[in-house]
Structure 1
Amino acid sequence: MTSGTKQREKPNVIVFFTDQQRWDTLGLHGNALDLTPNLDRFAMQNTHVYNGFTCQPLCGPARSSMQTGLYPTVTGCYRNTHPLPSDCTTLASVFNEAGYRTGYIGKWHLAGENPVPADQRGGYRDWLASNTPELTSEPYDAVLWDNDNREVRLPGYRVDALTDAAIHYVDRHKEDAFFLFLSLLEPHQQNRLDDYVAPDGYRERYQSRNVPPDLAALGGSAHQHLGGYYGMVKRIDENFGRLLDALKSLHLLENTIVLFTSDHGCHFKTRNHLYKQSCHESSIRIPMVLGGPGFECGGQLRQLVSLIDLPPTLIDAAGLAVPHHFQGRSLIPLIRREETAWPDDVFIQISGVRTGRAVRSRRWKYSVHAPYQDGEREAGSDYYEEECLYDLETDPYELTNLVGLESHRETADRMRERLLRRMEEAGEALPAVTSASVRPGGQRRVAAQEALQ
């Protein structure tokens, strides 16, 4: 069998994974700063998931779902410091079994230490990573560890350096069928500085420009950090373009599935004292684009899609059997326009500094929180209180919390039913949920049919 035949039979797969990137940084979502021309073009030629969401707005838990196809409450990775169990079936183990060369480059955040021990690498055979590069490296000093736990320092701005490593990996293994997971830290903040450090000269391009309405209204750290954040996104897109160019020059582009997505968004301390870990669109809505074999000219999907749906999608797209215990659904039937039942909502688990749960339908957002629960110690709770209800049709930036209004009681009840159903499907025990204190609704009225949207 020639290498060309092998390549045609087994599509390569690359995951280009960013950290803390809002969906509205993309031109396709209305950003006017031309931050993502390469990704926008790639999306228009392939498949753009318009409504993409994380299932857990926190680094480690979201990554555990991306690697295992399971909710964090199932893997036990509901907070950042909990390592991924070594007996989990992962993306790497599925592709390993299918004869793929599997490689991981960048941020891992699913182990308990640096360098990451071999048995905590999720089954990836080729390794160049740091568990937490935000703690072990700087924007112009990328520090990772290789297969033998030797320290490797990569030259250049960190996004460039990791993309260089990915391009070299693709070039070295162009005769193999490979599965490569490239995980950038950016546009996450550099922890030591609590700042978004763009390449030299990039922050200045975007300072005080195109401030989303939620950030403009609520303050937080957006006015201090948004210029650097946008500059990081711009450099990410430039490197995404470089990777596509490399695939094209190596004659691999037509036979390589490429996924671009992120672990969660960023609300710039407008919803709590952190940058995520809330139910709001700024925390949970993420960019999601798929290209390559099976995704060409897929157009724009408007269904609500969760991060947990991506592992089965990649496996299915490669022609492999999706593990029966995965909790997400493959997008392939949607892309093929096949008749298929698809959920009309997405479920979000929130843990870490706080414990909460949320469900998001096309129109409504409903969330509950456990006021007496230590989110660092427990994955969930048997008791929650209503916290938020938003009408995303009239209030897309979630500036008016409708929870407790008499006019919206039926809507909240319907959304509670959705949430409890979703919690049960995810394997959680059904909790008690206390309704919010009643408030007069004023002139507001919600028609019965609207409550179901």
Structure 2
Amino acid sequence: MIKRGILFFLGIWSTFLVTAQSSSNKWNVLFIAVDDLRPELGCYGNKYVYSPNIDALASGGVVFMNHYVTVPTCGASRASILTGKLPRTVQDLSNEAMEHKLKGVPSDFNPETFVHAFRLNGYYTVGIGKISHAPDGYIYKYQEPKSNRLELPQSWDEMLFNAGKWGTGWNAFFGYTDGTNRNALNGEVKPYEAAHVSDDAYPDGLTAALAVQKLQELASRNQPFFLAVGFFKPHLPFNAPKKYWDLYEEEQIPLAPFSDIPEGVNEASLHNSAEFNGYKKGEEKASLRQAVSDAYARKLRHAYLAGVSYVDAQIGKVLDALKKLHLEENTIVIVWGDHGWHLGDQRVWGKHTLSEWSLRSPLIIKVPSVTKAYSCKKIVSSVDIYPTLTELCDVKVKHQSDGRSLIPLLKNLKDKNWENVAYSYFRRGISMRTERYRLTKYFRTETPAVELFDYDSDPFERKNMAAEHPEIVERLTKLWEKGNTGIWKAKGG
């Protein structure tokens, strides 16, 4: 009896030790979101870009070369990744998508985002900066005082932001070094700024410092953490300390490979760069009728690249802190761009199109002891991140994501069943990207309402070939229908 009792006790103790070890060894997660970052990085083959810190992360992780967002605008793209869901209503395409989704939802809703799922599974969750749409995580209008209403009320143990001299998150988001901002000045500003200042003279420098400080605190907690850090740049205005501008010779910066309206594409598929033109002191206005001059295009691309290098340096500070705190070996790191951006491509300066330029963005994932550096060319979607993270971290959820776990691709397994397809939604259109083609169908009166691009022969989307190849459109339509969530019930609806 005694012997059996001892054996029973030892069995219970052994189980406890295994459980405790498993709990203490859970992955931490560092999720870094970067606003308006297209794959303009060294690790994506753009050797003229100075991005040493993100490139160093990529050297130990998987670079998804063909990652596509579901919506080419900030708030809706972030809502989709956070919920793992494709858009199903027109509200899902707005920057206020998360606010709409959570309106009237009970406080015990399970889960509102994958961050909430982590929190429910014992993780300490911290958000810093722009993770959903609001730059500081709180809901209020551009020129209103900061509210106390969280955009994601159930997701965070802490939601933090240092607004510095700008006072509020929205002022900081559009801020200049003198403490002014675009909105308060009614747009009477340039779309760029190069100032002889330190990194923390702009908001992203303050965000990096806050993230480093929070990592130091998290390192001492006996609890796995999920830390999300959202950086603003290279979002407009293209502001960065001058030392990052000085990394580039402006005359050597390449222009857009194709800066005309594609043949066979209705202008309704594009736009006249209203967000960009809202910076009224810009030297030239952009429009579909007239491209900006080559000289000004280079100036703007220079400004964008300075922002990329600036945010790369801030990401480097956070990654350095992770290493110094000995957290590197048990922390999953993700760098994600919330969508792409036309830099004069197809005469557009901005996002908001169903073009490769707006929809393709960086996704880099490093899982210690799991990933080895390689460039994955499979077609993946932002909605795939939800099931990937929850599976990696053994986070139990009943929520059904529209995505697929990327774990087979992270391990570089030859997944013969992987379907190379990603769906995106905007401008009354549904766009499908496959390994070779993009098929877009618009629910509108303007024609042509069907676009087909072949990236094998036309990587820069110069010509819509739908009219010439109806057989390809017909063949791809069945797969396209799988992405038709009913967001637009009928033509003109």
| Partner amino acid, structure 2, of 1:96 | R
Q: Which residue of 2 aligns with 1:95?
A: 118
2:216 is aligned with 1:182: no
Q: Bigger CA drift: 204-213 or 28-37?
A: 204-213
Q: 1:209 to 1:295 in 2, by over 3 A?
A: farther
Q: CA deviation at 1:340?
A: 6.2
**SS at 1:312 equivalent:** helix
Give per-residue Cα distances to partners, 1:331-370, cap 9 Å, x unaligned.
01332327563222111111xxx32211111111111223
> Which residue, out of 411, 424, 428, partners 2:472?
411
Q: Which residue of 2 aligns with 1:347?
A: 423
Q: CA deviation at 1:189?
A: 0.5
Q: 1:339 to 1:401 in 2, by over 3 A?
A: closer
**Contact kept? 1:52, 1:304, Cα under 8 Å:** yes
2:219 is aligned with 1:203: no
Q: Which residue of 1 aligns with 2:151?
A: 120
Distance 2:251 2:215 in 1: 38
Aligned pairs for 1:124-139 (under 5 A) are 124-129=156-161, 133=170, 137-139=174-176
2:303 is aligned with 1:256: no
**Contact kept? 2:439, 2:451, Cα under 8 Å:** yes
Q: Which residue of 1 aligns with 2:216?
A: 171
**Contact kept? 1:133, 1:185, Cα under 8 Å:** no
2:204 is aligned with 1:159: yes
Over the matched positions of the two proteins, sequence identity in percent amounts to 26
**Contact kept? 1:31, 1:210, Cα under 8 Å:** no
> Which residue, out of 304, 310, 330, partners 1:229?
304
Q: Which residue of 2 aligns with 1:365?
A: 438
Q: CA deviation at 1:298?
A: 5.7
**Contact kept? 1:189, 1:197, Cα under 8 Å:** yes
Q: CA deviation at 1:414?
A: 2.0
**SS at 1:411 equivalent:** helix
Q: 1:75 to 1:252 in 2, by over 3 A?
A: farther
**Contact kept? 1:215, 1:270, Cα under 8 Å:** yes
Structure 1: 4+ residue segments shifted above 6 A: none
Question: What's the Cα RMSD here?
Answer: 3.1
- When Rg is computed on C-alpha atoms for both structures, the one with the higher figure is 2
| Partner amino acid, structure 2, of 1:398 | E
Q: Point out which structure has higher relative CO (alpha carbons under 8 A, 6+ apart).
A: 2
Q: Which residue of 2 aligns with 1:49?
A: 64
Give the alignment's TM-score, normalised by structure 1: 0.79
Q: CA deviation at 1:431?
A: 4.3
Q: 1:76 to 1:124 in 2, by over 3 A?
A: farther
Distance 1:228 1:410 in 2: 43
Q: Which residue of 2 aligns with 1:381?
A: none
Distance 1:49 1:243 in 2: 22
**SS at 1:305 equivalent:** strand
Q: CA deviation at 1:157?
A: 2.4
Distance 1:266 1:104 in 2: 25
Q: Which runs of 5+ in 1 are unaligned?
A: 144-153, 191-195, 374-383, 434-453
Q: Which residue of 2 aligns with 1:290?
A: 365
> Which residue, out of 463, 468, 471, partners 1:400?
463
Distance 1:184 1:161 in 2: 10
**SS at 2:402 equivalent:** coil
| Partner amino acid, structure 1, of 2:32 | F
**SS at 1:45 equivalent:** coil
| Partner amino acid, structure 2, of 1:228 | A
| Partner amino acid, structure 2, of 1:211 | P
Q: Which runs of 5+ in 2 are unaligned?
A: 1-16, 106-110, 181-198, 262-290
Distance 2:297 2:318 in 1: 30
Give the alignment's TM-score, normalised by structure 2: 0.73
| Partner amino acid, structure 2, of 1:367 | T
